[in-house]
Structure 1
Amino acid sequence: MAANEDRIGKRVYEIWEQERRPLGEDMQYWPQASRKLPQAPRRMAARSRTAG
């Protein structure tokens, strides 16, 4: 679970930087980042099952 939180935290930071680092606004990006990241590992796992 910690690895997933680290990935989300990195994505939050990327989004925050893209938004030009608004002060006090960083926490609003957590829901957005957490919705997007968990989908990626599932897609990769599905591809590896169909490729074999």
Structure 2
Amino acid sequence: MNKLQRFVMVAIWCIQEDLSLRPTMRKVIQMLDGVLEVPFPPCPWPFNITS
């Protein structure tokens, strides 16, 4: 996985609306360093977009 993709995926994990889904800072550092695998993050916002 290239660095940019890893950084973006970690960022999406960090902006989850549900606080319980957000990783700890320790896990964030480990994911950015490549120590931990970065799982594919869920969509940070629901698809209910109203006009």
TM-score of the pair, normalised by structure 2: 0.39
Tell me which protein shows more helix as a share of its residues. 1
TM-score of the pair, normalised by structure 1: 0.38
Specify the structure having the higher radius of gyration (Cα).
Answer: 1
